[in-house]
Amino acid sequence: MNDRIRFLREKLRGRKIEGMIVSNPANIKYLTGIGSAEGVLLITRKENIYLTHTMFIEDVHSVLTINDEVIVMDYKDITKEEYENFFLFCENVGFEENHITYENYKRIKQKYKAHNLVETEKIIENQRIIKSDEEIEYIKKASEITDKCFAHLLKYIKKDMTEREVALEIERFFKTNEADGTAFSPIVAFGENTSKPHHVPTNKKVQTADPILIDMGCSYKGYCSDMTRTIFMGCILEEIKPVYDLVRKTQTMAIQDAKENNNIKAIVKSAENSIEFNKYRTMHTLGHGVGLETHELPILRPTNENLLKENMIITIEPGVYLPGKYGIRIEDTVLITKTGNKELTTSGKGYTVI
């Protein structure tokens, strides 16, 4: 049986859960490799069943192998009685409470006649935290493409170009340079817009002395990268340099601390103290896991008591934001190794003026 599904079954049994309804597309891809078909994966007492629409049947069969032991069924061929029998004799059936709406919860409870639907508390997402060798290679490739895109942008961006133009160029570059596409909508911010961590690109034009914040990532074979750089048009104002230096120093320190068995909470608190000691405030988490989704576990927040482990892939992205003035953020995708870590995004982080 598929090793990932076998491991999931063991975890479910440990919680006295006899079956599970998997509806999160990222979790379905992780367990089966199916990434482009709409459907739901049922982990029943004896079988693994993927339900999908007729239009996706051929695609699904091209992904699955005989060793996957996943039965593919067409929605239109399933009777009401079959739905009710999928979880026959299952006392507890797990569902993804963080993914489905309350309306869908009521619908699946009725459809499958599940005696007791129970929350699974991100059981698969926790399984996804430690990356396989293949997953690591995909994320490395996505990071490599992202670095190439950044190098391209340094030559591409010109005065009076708009945020939207740059964002579109990022999408174009990814799609024409081996990537599936963007991992998320690129954040491109000029001037005072850089003070908004999740700014949506506008028609604002870049002017001399503007900081330029670019947060981007691509998807390669379904796996994501994530990188942020803050660069400058024409020159960098002297008043910005101490803030840039602080963010860079904080990120360097956090990356040095990001080692196997180090406590996430301690790493985050140290980074936050570095920024807050200088009278600035932190506005978002220090980072997050990266994989099939751009934002996944673990989340690097001050309440996370977990330890970093070998083959986790995380981002480290401290930032300082001064509303109405400017913001600085530097972010890299980082692989935790047995002896320390490896930065997968490698674009330069010194003062960059274009």
Q: Which amino acid appears at position 96 of this protein? A: E
Q: Where are the beta strands (DSSP E) in the chain?
A: 19-22, 39-43, 48-52, 70-74, 93-95, 117-119, 181-182, 187-190, 211-216, 218-220, 223-224, 227-232, 287-289, 296-300, 313-316, 319-322, 326-329, 332-336, 341-343
Task: Please say if the pLDDT value at position 66 is more than 80.
Answer: no
Same domain (yes/no): 121, 211: no
Q: Can you tell me which residue has the tokens 């400058």?
A: 232
DSSP-based three-state secondary structure for 148: helix
Same domain (yes/no): 225, 320: yes
pLDDT digits (tens, 9 = 90+) for 256-284: 999 999 999 999 999 999 999 999 999 99
pTM (predicted TM-score): 0.94
**351 in any annotated domain:** no
Same domain (yes/no): 215, 324: yes
- Whether the CA torsion 273, 277, 281, 286 is positive or negative: it is negative
Question: Among 81, 109, 127, which residue terminates a domain?
Answer: 127
Percent of the chain with pLDDT over 70: 99
Q: Which amino acid appears at position 187 of this protein? A: I
CATH of residue 106's domain is 3.40.350.10
Question: Among 127, 149, 171, which residue terminates a domain?
Answer: 127
pLDDT digits (tens, 9 = 90+) for 7-61: 999 999 999 999 999 999 999 999 999 998 899 999 999 999 999 999 999 999 9
Same domain (yes/no): 85, 12: yes
Arithmetic mean of pLDDT over the chain? 96
**354 in any annotated domain:** no
Same domain (yes/no): 212, 66: no
Same domain (yes/no): 279, 258: yes
Same domain (yes/no): 106, 245: no
Contacts (Cβ under 8 Å, ≥6 apart) of 9 = 43
Per residue in 28-64, is it b (16+ CB within 10 Å) or e — as a string?
A: bbbbbbbbebebbbbbbeeebbbbbeeebbeebeebb
Between residues 194 and 66, which one has the greater pLDDT?
Answer: 194
For residue 36, what pLDDT is reported? 84
- Whether the CA torsion 131, 135, 141, 147 is positive or negative: it is negative
Question: Among 103, 127, 151, which residue terminates a domain?
Answer: 127
Range of the domain at 200: 133-343
**What whole-number distance in Å separates Cα of residue 282 and Cα of residue 127?**
30
Q: Which string of DSSP letters, residue by residue, matches 225-275?
A: --EEEEEESS---TTTHHHHHHHHHHHHHHHHH--TT-BHHHHHHHHHHHH
Same domain (yes/no): 96, 157: no
pLDDT digits (tens, 9 = 90+) for 181-204: 999 999 999 999 999 999 999 999
Closest of 214, 283, 286 to residue 250, by C-alpha = 286
Percent of the chain with pLDDT over 90: 92
Total structural domains within the chain: 2
Axis-axis angle for helices 163-175, 133-156 (nearest 10): 140
**Contact by Cβ (8 Å): 208, 236:** no
341's tokens: 């870590």
**245 in any annotated domain:** yes
**305 in any annotated domain:** yes
